[in-house]
Amino acid sequence: MLIDYTRYHDYPRLSNIFRLVKQTYDVEKDMRDFQVEDWTQQWDTGTHAESAPTYSYDIYNRFIDKTPPERWSALVKEISTLAGISYSAIIVVPPHSTMPEHTDWSHIKGMDDNEPDRTYTIMYYLRQPKATEEECGMKWGDRRLYLPEDSILCLDGGRHPHSVYNHTDQARVSFCLSVLETSFDL
């Protein structure tokens, strides 16, 4: 379920991408400049509070031709040249909210649901509350994982349902890259 992200063909380029994302990310500007997908509308069940929905916005999507906001354009161009890149997004889990169980192949706009790209998800923890795995993290079945800010994780999120929870007073923000499995030497 967890994948060794150092086996990704463009692994040496990731640190620069993550640095640029951290410099560019601005929740107020991004909420205005990108189409925001409210994850509470995706499921009929879950533990979301109406006042604290989880949401995401596409940074790059190979299935949809769109012009990114100017301040993101150089970074989006860089992302688009990564080996096997299908999709990239910022995902925000506000304080005291939970993103219900999902797979990463179930929500990419423009992708054929009958023939989804077989991808692994590389996640960079852009903003992460200082917490324990009981307070904030990812969950697969009864397994929980917390990683601190600036950590990297790679998972087979297309085949394995997972959820995200944040029971702290701070937002949890991650940057994800969906990368074709064929772009890994495993």
Give the pLDDT confidence of 132-146 residue by residue, as tens digits. 999 999 999 889 999
CB proximity list for 114: less than 8 A, separation 6 or greater: none
Q: What does the pLDDT average to over 109-133?
A: 88
State which amino acid sits at residue 35.
Q
Domain boundaries, the chain: 5-183
pLDDT band at residue 113 using 50, 70 and 90 as cut-offs: confident
List C-alpha distances in Å: 112 to 82, 93, 116, 117, 179. 21, 26, 6, 8, 16
- Cα–Cα distance between 184 and 186 in angstroms, integer? 6
Query: Token digits for 92?
Result: 């925000």
Choice among 39-53, 100-114, 130-144 with the minimum mean pLDDT? 39-53
Q: How far is CA 74 from the centre of its chain?
A: 19
Give the pLDDT confidence of 20-34 residue by residue, as tens digits. 999 999 888 887 788
Greater confidence (159 vs 19) lies with: 19
Give the pLDDT confidence of 74-102 residue by residue, as tens digits. 999 999 999 999 999 999 998 998 888 88
Is-contact 63 110, C-beta < 8 A? yes
Domain 5-183 has CATH 2.60.120.330: yes
- Cα–Cα distance between 163 and 98 in angstroms, integer? 7
List C-alpha distances in Å: 137 to 70, 84, 87. 32, 27, 22
Judged against a pLDDT cut of 70, whether residue 44 lies above it is answered with no
